[in-house]
Amino acid sequence: MSKRRLDIVGAGRVGKTLARLWKEHAAFEIGDVVNRSPESSEQAIAFIGGGTVGQIDQIDVLMISTADSALADCAAALAKTASIGPESVVFHCSGSISSEILAPLRARGASIASMHPVKSFADESLAVESFSGTFCALEGDSTAVQVLAEAVDAIGGKRFTIDPAAKAVYHAGSVFSNNYLVSTVAAGIDCLVEAGIARATAFEILKPIATEALENLFRFGPVQALTGPISRGETKVVETQLLALQAWDPEIAASYASSGKLAARLALQNGRASKESIRQIEEVLARSI
């Protein structure tokens, strides 16, 4: 049986990574690649190792890996111009939007779905090398989900299904655990630089403690992994740090306070500090939010 043809609209970091993996594992034949410019499409094709610069005509399997904001317009345009049949499968890669945004294509006869790899794609080459074992969230029409399930299996991914109505909250979990983790550590580095430490040195100082915190989180769970002044109920330390941050950078101070409120919720559960001291800390933090 011949391989199915995969066309791609919006071959950015996610799309290029997945397409290259599927090409290397012979899961799909790579067809047309459509980006904003022919030059961008050519660059994507070079990375993928296959495909042609063209326009989407007849849809077999189509991956739309554009920005979330472009999905609706893309689906509407393709529903008007592409040749779609009952065997056509169309999916997008958004973590926060359900496959229902592709409904215009379903109305033309396609099966629709979404596939979200829970992974950082900061560097495509590294993402290709480390993809095996990556969890991928699937939802949508059963026919399309089955095609994607086989495609995920082919490249060593681990699949799970997600309630489409819960995708926004689900994806927020990834944002907290990836994007906000980066911005939080970046704020920590800025604090050390403000204290007179060279930025390169600040990276080296915080790398071990950030790494250990994550290791402890997944080894012991968040309640037991929490350490620091809030865990110990040290109201004065928290207040002093917050005042210093407010005088230097109010935005970082606000982030410190909002993150501190979440830490206080965990501290109430680990029992290392009295409930009264945690209540006092929450009052200090609330005054700055």
pLDDT in tens, 110-135: 999 999 999 999 999 999 999 999 99
Instruction: Say what the pLDDT of residue 30 is.
Output: 98
Same domain, 158 and 226: no
Instruction: Say what the pLDDT of residue 54 is.
Output: 87
- Domain ranges, residue 237: 221-286
Quick check: is 203 in a domain? no
98: Cβ contacts below 8 Å, ≥ 6 apart: 114, 139, 140, 164, 165, 167
Region 229-254: what's the mean pLDDT? 98
Region 34-61: what's the mean pLDDT? 96
Same domain, 238 and 150: no
**Maximum Cα–Cα distance for the chain, whole Å?**
70
Q: How confident is the model at residue 2 (pLDDT cuts 50, 70, 90)?
A: confident
Quick check: is 195 in a domain? no
Residue ending a domain, among 134, 162, 190, is 162
For the chain, percent of residues with pLDDT exceeding 70:
99
Same domain, 101 and 232: no
Instruction: Say what the pLDDT of residue 288 is.
Output: 78
Quick check: is 171 in a domain? no
Instruction: Say what the pLDDT of residue 124 is.
Output: 95
Same domain, 158 and 20: yes
Task: Could you list the beta-strand ranges (E) of 13-99.
Answer: 29-34, 52-53, 61-64, 89-92
> Distance between CA 190 and CA 252 in Å, rounded?
9
If DSSP codes are grouped into helix, strand and coil, which group holds residue 195?
Answer: coil
Instruction: Say what the pLDDT of residue 256 is.
Output: 98
Write out 155-170 in H/E/C secondary structure: CCCEEEECCHHHHHHH
What predicted TM-score, i.e. pTM, was given to this entire model? Answer: 0.92
End-to-end CA distance of the chain: 61
250-270 and 180-194 helices cross at what angle (nearest 10)? Answer: 120
Q: What is the mean pLDDT of the chain?
A: 97
Helices (runs of H) and strands (runs of E) counted in the chain: 14, 8
Model pLDDT for residues 163-173, shown as the tens digit of each residue:
999 999 999 99
Single out the residue of 86, 84, 147, 88 nearest to residue 115, CA to CA: 147
Quick check: is 177 in a domain? no
Same domain, 270 and 137: no
> Distance between CA 108 and CA 106 in Å, rounded?
5
Instruction: Say what the pLDDT of residue 9 is.
Output: 98
> Distance between CA 93 and CA 115 in Å, rounded?
5
Number of domains in the chain: 2
Per DSSP, helices labelled H in 27-70 are 38-48
Same domain, 24 and 118: yes
Residue position matching structure tokens 């920590």? 188
